[in-house]
A and B are shown apart, each in its own frame.
Chain A
Amino acid sequence: MFEISPTEWTAILLSLRVAVIATLVATPFGIALAWLLARRDFWGKSLLDAAVHLPLVLPPVVTGYLLLLTFGKRGLVGAWLADHLGIVFAFRWTGAALACGVMSFPLLVRPIRLSIEAVDRRLEQAAETLGAAPWRVFATVTLPLALPGVLAGMVLGFAKAIGEFGATITFVSNIPGETQTISSAIYSLIQTPDGDTAAARLVIISVVLAVGALIAAEVFARRATARLHGQ
């Protein structure tokens, strides 16, 4: 029962790699966007906010299909990237990472945005009177104070990315060793006769990873409070 087969290991390691890369690449964009939404007023802000949340409410298969149309081999962006930069997403693990990054983006952005909003603007003002240029105010005051929120967002995004299924399988299919993540592996196993035990193992691993991520996010949130009070 507890013997993990090589195929399962491959799926687990692939899921981890996909989720780590998706989270690391998405985080800088997430921070920039969260800052824009928290601190700036501009035309189309609610539209942008809605667009960020879209993957949360769209059927994942729709998001996956839209990714396929855009980043597929014949997609507008996909073709350009393949021709000019040699980056291919279609049916590759990089495509899985892209799908996971897009799907987890709303979960990544939200805690970061909330924690930036919670940073006292009067502290940013004080930094400015001490000679800090706007980007240094951000780097030395806003971001350090929002850091626990950033970590919480990364953990939540990671947890979502590691379990993503619908958009990934639609966009990059279910190829063992290339795009077969834990979720797609479970999906294949429960359709295979005698696959139940293997599926159960992967299910337990998914639960452990997800619960661990939630606990980590909670810990970061508590640290945020302590940090904001200067303890």
Chain B
Amino acid sequence: MLRVDITKQLGEFSLAASFTSEGRVTGLFGASGSGKTSLINTIAGLVRPDRGTIVIDGETVDDTAAGIHVPTWRRRIGYVFQDARLFPHLDIRQNLDYGRRMNGLTEDPAQHKRVVDLLDIGALLDRRPGKLSGGERQRVALGRALLSKPRLLLLDEPLGALDESRKLEILPYLVRLRDEAGVPMVYVSHDAAELRQLATQIVMLRRGQVTAFGGVKVLTGGA
């Protein structure tokens, strides 16, 4: 479960969002500049809200009234960025293992194999990020986030930097992830078709305000 009720002033732009989502995939939908990325960064703890609360999986990670702000690295979230942000000095195996090491988790070969198989990245393990295609990088980024065993997976336009054919290459993996990985996701996109395929609930944003919240039906209401 994810509960968000925050306001944040970013220069001229003001963000105010309030919603509670029980869905497996919460889609944050809106045009560019609607505040989607600011909102997901606030959930990640990278942006600190001016006022309000955020509750992830029953734990209050932000509560301005109580002075609570759990830093990003203690939130146990996974974050897949639009630009995969793989560590260039580590090979793919080390990239995948990074979150486990940082969280002090014991090795879990079964989980490792499951994720590697799910994303079809077994052949890439000894390569360097610089030698991968955009689609491969994004799959590794997904795997890296999953293997840190997050309670919530945040995805910020993970297909945004890919061309159409690459998008179609990744999309099935995301569907499998939703159905098999068992980690709730927040999925940011400006592409209604993408969200129709993936999301179970939609938060519609416009100029920093939530204009609609509900099932994927709200996408047909016109944004």
A136–B102 touching, CB < 8 Å: yes
CB-contacts of A111-160 with B (<8 A)? 120, 122-123, 125-134, 136-137, 140-141, 144-145
0/1 per residue, B63-85, Cβ < 8 Å to A?
Answer: 00000000111101111010101
- Using a Cβ–Cβ cut-off of 8 Å, how many residues does chain B contribute to the interface with A? 29
Instruction: For the complex formed, measure the closest distance between the CB of A128 and the CB atoms of chain B, giving whole angstroms.
Output: 5
Question: With contacts A125-B46, A144-B89, A229-B88 known, is A133 near B83, CB below 8 A?
Answer: no
Taking CB atoms, residues of chain B closer than 8 Å to A191 are none
Cβ of A87 within 8 Å of any chain B Cβ, yes or no, is no
Instruction: For the complex formed, measure the closest distance between the CB of B185 and the CB atoms of chain A, giving whole angstroms.
Output: 14
Taking CB atoms, residues of chain A closer than 8 Å to B86 are 230
A131–B88 touching, CB < 8 Å: no
Cβ of A62 within 8 Å of any chain B Cβ, yes or no, is no
Q: Bound state CA distance, A84 and B78, in angstroms?
A: 52
Cβ of B87 within 8 Å of any chain A Cβ, yes or no, is yes
Q: Bound state CA distance, A134 and B86, in angstroms?
A: 18
Q: Bound state CA distance, A136 and B144, in angstroms?
A: 17
Cβ of A5 within 8 Å of any chain B Cβ, yes or no, is no
Q: Bound state CA distance, A215 and B129, in angstroms?
A: 29
A131–B103 touching, CB < 8 Å: yes
B145–A130 touching, CB < 8 Å: yes
Question: With contacts A129-B72, A131-B73 known, is A230 near B130, CB below 8 A?
Answer: yes
Q: Chain A, interface size: which category? A: 20 to 34
Question: With contacts A136-B102, A229-B130, A230-B130 known, is A128 near B72, CB below 8 A?
Answer: yes
Pick from A129, A136, A141, A229: contact of B79, CB under 8 Å: A129
Pick from A122, A137, A145: contact of B85, CB under 8 Å: A122
Cβ of B148 within 8 Å of any chain A Cβ, yes or no, is yes
Question: With contacts A129-B72, A131-B73 known, is A230 near B88, CB below 8 A?
Answer: yes
A132–B88 touching, CB < 8 Å: no
Instruction: For the complex formed, measure the closest distance between the CB of A139 and the CB atoms of chain B, giving whole angstroms.
Output: 11
CB-contacts of B137-156 with A (<8 A)? 144-145, 148, 154
Instruction: For the complex formed, measure the closest distance between the CB of A226 and the CB atoms of chain B, giving whole angstroms.
Output: 9
Q: Bound state CA distance, A54 and B130, in angstroms?
A: 40
Interface class of chain A by DSSP: helix
Which residue of A has the minimal Cβ distance to B44? A129
A129–B77 touching, CB < 8 Å: yes
Cβ of B128 within 8 Å of any chain A Cβ, yes or no, is yes
Q: Bound state CA distance, A149 and B103, in angstroms?
A: 29
Cβ of B173 within 8 Å of any chain A Cβ, yes or no, is no
Q: Bound state CA distance, A87 and B76, in angstroms?
A: 48
Cβ of A192 within 8 Å of any chain B Cβ, yes or no, is no
Q: Bound state CA distance, A126 and B88, in angstroms?
A: 12
Which residue of A has the minimal Cβ distance to B78? A129
Taking CB atoms, residues of chain A closer than 8 Å to B102 are 127, 130-133, 136, 140
Taking CB atoms, residues of chain A closer than 8 Å to B71 are 128
Taking CB atoms, residues of chain A closer than 8 Å to B46 are 125, 128-129
A128–B85 touching, CB < 8 Å: no
Rank and list the top 9 A-B pairs by shortest CB-CB distance, nearest first. A230-B88, A230-B130, A129-B79, A130-B99, A126-B85, A131-B102, A131-B103, A230-B129, A132-B102
Q: List 5 A-B contacts (CB under 8 A).
A: A126-B85, A129-B78, A130-B99, A130-B103, A140-B102
Binding site for B on A (CB under 8 A): 120, 122-123, 125-134, 136-137, 140-141, 144-145, 227-231
If A129-B145, A230-B89 are given as contacts, then 13 extra A-B residue pairs at C-beta distance below 8 Å, sorted by A number, are A122-B83, A126-B87, A129-B77, A129-B78, A129-B154, A130-B78, A130-B145, A131-B74, A132-B73, A134-B73, A230-B88, A230-B129, A231-B130
